């Protein structure tokens, strides 16, 4: 069971050959003050997975949460075009971190496993016009950090250090390792 409405996460699970259903969790995603980015994404991923698992008797529930961090500042999903443009202005011409927390909850036993992945992403310098045109596409409006690595923003990224699927929203290698730890072989 995937505790997320993200089409990108669903696509990644399909890519991995996993069979799953989607059950969206409604949890408060407000960043808790004082938490490190990895603590925040792990906490939110676990909240999502627990919220869905609470209504089930069996199965493994996957929760995930992704944030972008620039100079210690956590960038979630932008509230609108202006905030998206401001986020992209911060990210352009530099490197930043992408953290995704992953939580697995066994709905029958309530056993949990939580982890996270970190990837560094480096953007080219962008003009205000390039940022405006990208924001006008609508692509950045529902994504942490206001960009989608798998979409048009790929034109802005000159390198990644770490897991590509982490930046998309679900680190598949980390997920496969975690599933193996609880006795589920992906391949």
pLDDT per position as a tens digit, 94-118: 999 999 999 999 999 999 999 999 9
Spell out the alpha helix ranges (H) of the chain.
7-15, 37-53, 81-91, 128-136, 164-168, 172-181
pLDDT reported for residue 96: 98
Those residues of the chain that have pLDDT short of 70 are none
- Which pLDDT score is estimated for 27? 87
Amino acid 187: pLDDT: 86
pTM for the full model? 0.94
Show which residues are catalytic.
65
- What are the structural domains of the chain? 7-181 (3.90.950.10)
């Amino acid at each position: 069971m995937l505790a997320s409405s993200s089409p990108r996460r669903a696509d990644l699970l399909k890519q991995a050959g996993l069979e799953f259903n989607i059950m969206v969790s409604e949890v408060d995603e407000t960043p808790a003050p004082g938490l490190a980015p990895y603590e925040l994404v792990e906490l939110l991923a676990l909240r999502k997975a627990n919220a869905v698992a609470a209504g089930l008797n069996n199965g493994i529930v996957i929760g995930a949460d992704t944030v972008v961090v620039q100079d210690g500042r956590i960038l979630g999903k932008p509230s609108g075009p202006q905030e998206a443009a401001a986020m992209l202005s911060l990210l352009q011409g530099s490197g930043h971190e992408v953290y995704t927390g992953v939580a697995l909850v066994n709905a029958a036993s309530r056993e949990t496993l939580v982890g996270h992945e970190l990837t560094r992403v480096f953007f080219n310098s962008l003009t205000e016009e390039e940022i405006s045109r990208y924001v006008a596409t609508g692509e950045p409006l529902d994504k942490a950090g206001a960009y989608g690595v798998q979409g048009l923003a790929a034109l802005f990224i000159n390198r990644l250090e770490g897991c590509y699927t982490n930046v998309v929203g679900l680190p598949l290698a980390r997920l496969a390792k975690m599933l193996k730890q609880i006795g589920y072989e992906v391949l």
